[in-house]
A and B are shown apart, each in its own frame.
Chain A
Amino acid sequence: MEEDKKKSRRKFFELGIKFGLLATVGTVAVAKAMDNEDSSGMVELMSTDGNIIQVPASEVHDVAHKQPEDYDPRVGIPDKKFVMVVDLAKCTNALKCQESCNKNHYITGKNAWLKVYKMQESEKTAPYWMPTLCQHCDKPPCVKVCPVDATFKRQDGIVLIDNERCIGCRFCMAACPYSTRVFNWNEPDQPAAAHEGEYTPDYAGKPSVKGTVDKCDFCPHMIQMGELPHCVSACPNDVYSFGDMYEDAVTNGSGQTFKLSKLLEERAGHRLLEGLGTEPSVFYLPPVDRNVDFEEGLENYTEFQSVKKTEE
């Protein structure tokens, strides 16, 4: 099961790259759903408007899935714009996302990068669970105020931090309206695994550096392997979908792919504090038509804790 899931996800990303190329030569941009080649030599593919079409297998060419040689963590992956959709109607505060994020980013502080807020706008409105992470804004206030270009915006939409350059002034934290940035107040007490390999800003937390700022990095290290970010794949309720805005497609942890524009239109998607003009890359679908019980999530809710001490 788990293996299948992984496979289909990987396929999704591979194909994204392939069909980006197809589009450039004027072919219909399509996304192959599965490689189920039938006897007539046709393959089934999914077009961008969601229809399954058949294309002769001979017309489909494999493109070597390789990172460009000159990949620069400050520039990002070319011709991509990564986005996330968070479906508030599905969130039950299971916290598997947070657990996975904390573990894979070796978070040892007391403030997780991904937090599930218990939200209730007013007494008369219904409560709901709202996962928050770095919103990877297209007009990031944090990047604007950084005096040394330590936090930066990549071409693929991801906002990262260079912990080897950050001077620890914390202006970015003051500027962030979403309070998603955390500071390494003390020497991080991380496991040895966090110190393996060379430092690169596209794997936040590996390692965390004392006196510098950390935050969600949208997992570029997973994207490069054709995988979904840790939180997306860990979620048992398919709350998160992740994808490329240029392909207009997002995929959830179960491997289901949706047309982004359609999803946002049908479900009235919005972004947090939209009025500030920060233009986040994270979209939220409102918590309507819920078949989940809000109360269920209270079991996991700890107001004063987001990183469990015993987490391995």
Chain B
Amino acid sequence: MKQYDKLIQDLAPKKFGLRGTIWVIFLVVIIMFSLYAYYQQFDKGLGITGMRDYALWGVYISNFVFFVAISLVGSLVTAVLRLSGANWATPLTRISEVIAVAAIMMGGLTIIIDMGRPDRILNIFLHGRLQSPIIWDVLVITTYLFISVLLLYYPLLPDFAILKKHFKETQPKLGKYYSKMSLNWTGNAKQEKIYNKSIHTLSVMIIPVAFAIHTVTAWLFATTYRAGWDSTNFGPYFIAGAFVAGSGAVVMLMFILRKTYHLEEYITDMHFDKMGKLLVLLCLVYLYFNINEFLIPAYKSTNEEAAHLHGLFFGEFSLMFWLAIIGGLVVPVIVLIFRKGRKPVPLFIIAILVVVGAWWKRYIIVTPTLLHPLLPIQGVPESWHSYFPTGLEWTITAGTLAASLLIMTILFRYLPIIPIHETAEEKGFLKTEKTETL
């Protein structure tokens, strides 16, 4: 009983401390700046960006791909690991599901930011045509968001019921909200049955949908004729990369949340160790797809591919390219195969490398290809031969990243970071507790 009370005490959401408040203010300030920048863009047009007719997509689209990529981790941890019986991942399910929801929301918004006519967004529904990969993307992203929200919400029902009780006296108003959100969860046999069945069904459903969102995102590029995009490898290549990016993000959050909310008892070194091992596997799979993606065209070296690859390997994008490949993939594998490398602090540093590398990787997937079209670039100003985001473009991009972090921060403020009910069940606290509440 005592253990159970302590569990609730430990895991119930807590108010922001000073650092939390500063963090939220910091994010809000960035978002305000980016809103102003977006107002400029809305008013004056996409001309405020560095994009032009050849570099027709830029940092917004690569940021979009990054968001979609990172959101895939929700399905990996909550669905794949859950269904494969890897119970050690239970304390990480909520973290990854929150990442999934926040990232996919901002991914959807980023696409709108990139539109030349956001005021005509309804045309997608009024005049949508099914043969366009953009429509497929709209369909699967909304489906994924919907399932992800449910997959975040259902496992919360028993937790909300617990919190309702917990906050009844101390914060009656908050308790009331939890009460409403808990949908009268009492934990009886009938509810348990529906609960387990729904979560299981959603876990099965989300896997193909997760694969679909990122495969379709890859197809936005692969359905064109351009060197560097015209690849049948693109779908699995994107998915493999997405799991790397998402797992890196989970490790980062694990570390930060564990520290801020003193969750050392629940997110243990074992979890870091396992995530480190998982990350090695995922990096190796992604490296394998990278080899396919670059070695084969380099071997053949058709004119278009050769020009594109030269830019990546030795040219203007080589620094970013090798940083993303070596810093974001090779170094993590080398460090993480050692037990010491999988301790929280080194793994956290590696995770930062992985996530930053993954972000730049998207940038060099989008931009270099556009600057090597099939016909030569002629008759446009010299500055149109290259692309780098403008200050306003960076501000808007930073705003979307800040907004996704703000969504996560707010969700972690009000939701138990570690699933209370599931943890109690796994630790065997619940048997006695259940008979008491029923």
Contacts and interface: CB of A to CB of B under 8 A. Distances in A.
B114 interface: yes
Contact of A183 (B116, B121, B126, B370): B116
A186 interface: yes
Interface stretch (B176-184, B326-334, B376-384): B376-384
Contact of B124 (A145, A148, A272, A305): A148
A272 B223 CA distance: 19
A64 interface: no
A229 B218 CA distance: 39
The binding surface of chain B is classed by DSSP as loop
A170 B57 contact: yes
B225 A276 contact: yes
B134 interface: yes
B208 interface: no
A305 B134 contact: no
A111 B379 contact: yes
Interface residues of B, number: 48
B380 A146 contact: no
Interface in A127-148: 132, 141, 144-148
B172 interface: no
A171 B223 CA distance: 10
A148 B135 CA distance: 9
B131 A170 contact: no
B134 A171 contact: yes
A276 to B, nearest CB: 6
B223 to A, nearest CB: 7
Interface string B28-45: 000000000000000011
Contact of A147 (B124, B225, B381): B124
A144 B224 CA distance: 11
Contact of A303 (B46, B53, B378): B378
A166 interface: yes
B350 interface: no
Interface in B42-73: 44-47, 49, 51-54, 56-57
A211 interface: yes
Contacts of A272: 375
Interface in B352-402: 370, 373-382, 384
Contact of B376 (A117, A146, A149, A169): A117
A18 B121 CA distance: 45
A132 B375 CA distance: 10
Contact of A144 (B57, B132, B376, B384): B132
Contacts of A210: 45, 116
Nearest to A303: B378
Nearest to B366: A174
Nearest to B382: A304
Interface string A159-200: 000000111111101110111011111110000000000000
B226 interface: yes
A144 B131 contact: yes
A112 B380 CA distance: 8
A273 interface: yes
A105 interface: no
A259 interface: no
B117 A173 contact: no
Contacts of A145: 131-134, 223-224
B120 A147 contact: no
B115 A168 contact: yes
Contacts of A213: 116
Contacts of B225: 141, 175, 177, 273, 276
A115 B384 CA distance: 16
A115 B373 CA distance: 15
B188 interface: no
B221 to A, nearest CB: 8
Interface in A276-291: 276
B123 interface: yes
A174 B127 contact: no
Contacts of B221: 174
Given A175-B224, A210-B45, 13 more contacts: A110-B380, A111-B380, A144-B131, A145-B134, A148-B126, A169-B114, A175-B223, A179-B53, A183-B56, A185-B52, A186-B44, A272-B375, A304-B382
Interface of A: 110-112, 115-119, 132, 141, 144-150, 165-171, 173-175, 177-179, 181-187, 210-213, 272-273, 276, 302-306
10 contacts: A144-B131, A146-B129, A166-B116, A169-B114, A171-B132, A179-B375, A183-B116, A187-B44, A305-B379, A306-B378
Closest 4 CB pairs of A and B: A168-B116, A211-B116, A306-B379, A186-B47
